[in-house]
Amino acid sequence: MILTGYRSFLAALLLVCAGPCLFAAVPAAAFVPAAPDAEPAAEATAEPTIDDQADAGADSRIARRIEGIFGELPAFAKVGVTVNEGVVILSGTVPNEEDIARAEAIVSRISGVVTVDNGLTRDLSVDQSLTSLGDLTERIAGFTQMIPLFLLAVGVAILIGGIGYLLSSFTSLWRRVAPNGFLAELIASAIRFIFVVGGMVVGLDIIGAGALLGAVLGGAGVVGIALGFAMRDTIENYVASLMLSLRQPFRANDHVMIDEHEGRVIRLTSRATILMTLDGNHLRIPNATVFNAVLLNFTRNPQRRFDFDLGIDADDDPETARRLGREMLAQLPYILDDPAPEARTVEVGDSNIVLRFFGWIDQREADWFKARSRSIAVVKAALEKAGFALPEPIYRLRFDPRGAPLSLGSAQDAGELANQSGTIGEAPKQKAPAAVGSSVADINVHDHADVRPDDEVARMVEAERAADPGEKDLLDSSQPVE
């Protein structure tokens, strides 16, 4: 039955697709309006006319024909028929309301009938009610006879569904076939669903209720579309979980930043990615957000660069300061030689020159925050030892009334002001830096400062994973990280 419906659907689809081609292949002459001599065709479709003269004996023939037909139908046993001039008059009773219209339809199809005067009514007598009860008894008897067939259909459906459940229970097989456990579970669920639906199809086909299955599946399709729109976010999150389980963008305990959220990964579930923030709080992010977010993985590459800015006086030599900063960074034991430390001039301000220093560390050996803090202190101390001034912002305060011109007083006052500050309006000059060399030799860069990585959050993540090992985790260490 399903194959027949599929063939009908395929034939209809081919007809729709081939319709334009057939239309184009028809000659244009076929669409030319019919000539006036086509009037007989139009007249053939009109209602038949009534003869002006009655055929002798026609009424009796019509009456006998109707009585003969009604005699074969038990429902019309109490129907009386009278025919006069082609007009059929029906009288009597019938068991059901549907039989009234049915009788009129039968009579109207007989040749020679002009019209039908339907006077039938439903039989409400006790005898007829008992007859209907007998029909109900026959139906119950028929249903009773159908019980073995129904039980057979149910048994076949349960057997097919049980085979599906049995196949889906081979979790080890599907885990070997699928790239991860989440996809293996999805495959098992699909197998169960296919076998259960197949069992229902076979069972309904056994009892001859295939049309009922089509109606149920059609209604389920409409309901599924409605639910799809209503649960769009949930479905999107489910698909994102599947994609993340296949892509594996991070491992457990990886230090990541997802948009503005930073922390270490505890686990990836079928609904959300669970992080532990750097201050020890649980953070649950929906997988749909994770899949579409900008993801930064700090653990993926153990080498990481830090940078910081320091300013020197505008009259100091920036090249000498940069060379000194690079040398001090290179002497720090946790700074990598490759890539080597670097320093650049990033800005020349009104009263200072901003230098930016760069250094690389191995995150497995040194903590990024500790290494950066220690490097800032060492480079700052070296610059100050070498005589480089780290200027502060300079402000000039005016106490004269708004809009009044600035008065410098007498020439003698101006000369004294110039002697104190050099040029009027300028800050006093800083002394020139001393020669770089022995002045910074006493800075201890090997003072055994603790820059080892902080692993308290990592330990809490491992404890969290060990505390609940039964919770499903879609992260698989055997799969490559994208």
Please, what is the end-to-end C-alpha distance for the chain in angstroms?
Answer: 48
d(CA 151, CA 355): 87
Instruction: Compute how many other C-beta atoms are within 10 angstroms of the C-beta atom of residue 360.
Output: 19
d(CA 326, CA 343): 6
Cβ atoms 258, 290 nearer than 8 A: yes
Alpha-carbon span 186 to 192, nearest angstrom: 10
Domains, the chain, ordered by start: 58-127 (3.30.1340.30), 153-230 (no CATH), 238-300+459-467 (2.30.30.60), 301-394+433-451 (3.30.70.100)
Compute, in degrees rounded to 10, the torsion defined by CA atoms 244, 246, 249, 252: 90
| Angle between helix 210-230 and helix 181-206 axes, rounded to 10 deg | 150
> Is residue 30 a contact partner of residue 62, using CB atoms and an 8 Å limit?
no
3-class DSSP assignment, residue 118: strand
477 C-beta neighbours (distance < 10 Å), count = 8
For residue 393, count other CB atoms closer than 10 A to its CB.
8
Question: For residue 339, is the peptide bond before it cis, meaning its omega torsion is within 30 degrees of 0?
Answer: yes
Q: Could you list the pLDDT tens digit for every one of the 482 residues in the chain?
A: 443 443 444 444 444 444 444 333 344 334 334 444 444 444 444 566 766 666 778 888 888 888 889 888 888 888 888 888 888 999 888 888 888 888 889 988 888 888 898 888 887 765 555 565 556 677 777 778 778 888 888 898 899 989 988 988 887 787 777 766 667 777 888 888 888 888 888 888 888 776 676 776 777 677 777 766 666 777 788 888 888 888 888 888 899 999 899 999 998 888 889 999 988 899 999 999 999 899 999 988 889 999 999 999 888 899 999 999 999 999 999 999 989 999 999 998 777 899 999 999 999 889 999 999 999 999 999 999 998 988 776 666 767 665 555 444 444 444 443 444 443 344 444 444 545 554 555 666 666 567 777 778 888 888 888 887 666 777 877 666 76
- Which amino acid appears at position 34 of this protein? A
Q: Give the span between the Cα atoms of 214 and 202, in whole angstroms.
A: 13
